Structure 1
Amino acid sequence: MIFRQLFEPLSSTYTYLIGCEETGKAILIDPVIASMDRDIEELKKLNLTLEYSIDTHIHADHITSSLHLKEKLKSKIANPIVDKLPCADLYLEEGKPLQIGSIKLESLHTPGHTPGHFAYIINNTVLTGDSLLIDACGRTDFQGGSSEQLYISIHKKLFTLPDDYLVYPGHDYQQRFVSTIKQEKTRNSRLGNNKTSEEFMEIMKNLNLPYPKFIDYAVKGNQLCGVCPDDLPENLQNYCKQMTESYQG
């Protein structure tokens, strides 16, 4: 299996390129429109054909490139069934793996950050999106988020995975790349060390995070699988432009 972790610095988003060496087929998980040219170049370099673009959820901090990749590469769009986006070609469901060549993608519904959030398991690796981050988790104060639901998702689904499973998050803001289930169960400052649901909800209630500056544009654009609005303010236009620096993790 080919596995690449790619980083978009403006929104600190990780995109995952996963390819089947036998068939040359590939998937991209959480692709960002600002880094689309980089992703296409990486596919070409590895001699891979993109089969599906897949998002973990409807993002609030960047625009997905799923629709534009479909237009350019004739790939398909697969997204969580809970959101039922009309622009998707395939709805992913928990308990129904997606097979791409030798790649078996298993979906886990992990609501809390958003109601339709999914994590994805491939072999001994879990791509947790914005649900479980390294020593953190996604916020729960917008887009129908719920701290109570997120606690259940992480403890009943993600933390029940084998301890040695690798955790690859959807974001990191401190140049960290990978963790493990065991590490997050023991060291995650919000969820680890047997914190109770009440303790977790109190932590989340007191984060006092600022309102996401791109959310009002990103959510609408991502509900259409990646449409950049025409009315972006000048200070936000880079979110839809191709980045000159967008490196591999």
Structure 2
Amino acid sequence: MLTKLPVHIVGQAERLARMSRVAAIVRMSSSAPSTGFFFRQLFDTVSSTYTYLLGDMKTRDAVLIDPVLEHAERDATLVKDLGFKLVYAMNTHMHADHVTGTGKLKSILPGTKSVIGKSSGAQADVYVDDGEVVRFGGYELLAKSTPGHTNGCLTYICHDQSMAFTGDALLIRGCGRTDFQEGSSEKLYESVHTKIFTLPDHYTLYPAHDYKGQTATTVWEEKKYNPRLTKSLKEFIHIMDTLNLPYPKMIDKALPANRVCGLF
């Protein structure tokens, strides 16, 4: 025969059970995973620049790709909050539309080294060239030379995560300009078709900028829908030659600063 418990005892038991469930949920949400790949996309509204934080949750080593000077404090705080050690502050190329945050990040986070392509013409602690690898913890980024927007443009590929960071070489349904700073439409077309479009179709591509609110794309999408790079080389060159875009408003400030790691 079952004995019916008093109402106040049942109520207390239910409250304790609820408290136990809530405590368990809090523990789960407040404890970060101890192993695995960390990825965070950050944004600058002024230049529409994406900055990417990648990290190894086990070793706590991390890299930042294309940091912006005005957000160096924000990025450094995030790195500290998440318990990472910033190994490299990297650029996909020498930017003309914003000043890089690599120099300032080095002063905020001692031990950080700046990285850029050998052909960029900019100062850095580490220069990388086509086929070289940047390692952080148990992960690595393969640098592929993708000139055309600038001579020093690099695409960083993380094969382990099926992703690539294309800088300004390939944007979402677009590409970087070729009318200044060593630009060459023919080189850019070749770079994209031989270094990026040859990646597996499912690879996610993360550009240095987006001006229409999109965050990422895929190799398959750009091979099918990019309105410029799905054309023939002759058509692509004509498109790029007739864009008639205004003179970059930040270029006279950004290029001299970016030649010296963003430090005036």
TM-score, length of structure 1 as denominator length: 0.88
One-letter code aligned to 2:191: S
Alignment partners' CA distance in 2, 1:119 and 1:132: 9
Provide, for residues 202-236 of structure 1, a one-character-per-residue CA deviation record: whole Å limited to 9, x for no partner.
111111000001101100000001024xxxxxxxx
Query: Structure 2 CA distance, aligned partners of 1:98 and 1:7?
Result: 23
Q: Does 1:89 align with 2:125?
A: yes
Aligned to 1:112: 148
Matches of 2:101 and 2:217, distance apart in 1: 26
User: Which of the two has greater helix per residue?
Assistant: 2
1:40-59 → structure 2 map (5 Å cutoff):
40-59=76-95
- Aligned residue number for residue 13 of structure 1: 49
Range that drifts further, 3-12 or 74-83 = 74-83
Rounded Cα–Cα distance in structure 1 between residues aligned with 2:73 and 2:120? 27
1:133 alignment partner, SS class: coil
Instruction: Report how far residue 92 of structure 1 moved.
Output: 1.1
Contact in 2 for aligned 1:84/1:91 (Cα 8 Å): no
Given the alignment, which residue of 187, 208, 227 partners 1:149?
A: 187
CA distance in 2, matches of 1:84, 1:187: 33
Aligned twin of 1:173: 211
Q: Secondary structure at the match of 1:105?
A: strand
The TM-score normalised by the length of structure 2 is 0.83
Would you say 1:76 and 2:113 are equivalent positions? yes
Displacement of 1:84 = 5.0
CA contact (8 A) 1:95 1:106 kept: yes
Q: What number of residue pairs does the alignment pair up?
A: 225
Distance 1:207 1:5 in 2: 29
Residues 50-69 of structure 1 deviation map (CA, whole Å, 9 limit, x = unaligned): 11100011100000011111
Q: Which moved more, 1:95-104 or 1:125-134?
A: 95-104
Identity over aligned residues, as a percent? 48
For structure 2, the residue ranges without an aligned partner over 5 or more in a row are: 1-36
Gaps of 5+ in 1: 229-249
Residues 165, 206 of structure 2: 8 Å contact kept: yes
What amino acid sits opposite 1:170 in the alignment? Answer: A
Task: List 4+ stretches of structure 1 deviating above 6 A.
Answer: none
- CA offsets per residue over residues 101-124 of structure 1, 9 Å max, x none? 112110010000001110100121
The code of the aligned residue for 1:70 comes to K
Tell me, what secondary structure is at the counterpart of 1:136? Answer: coil
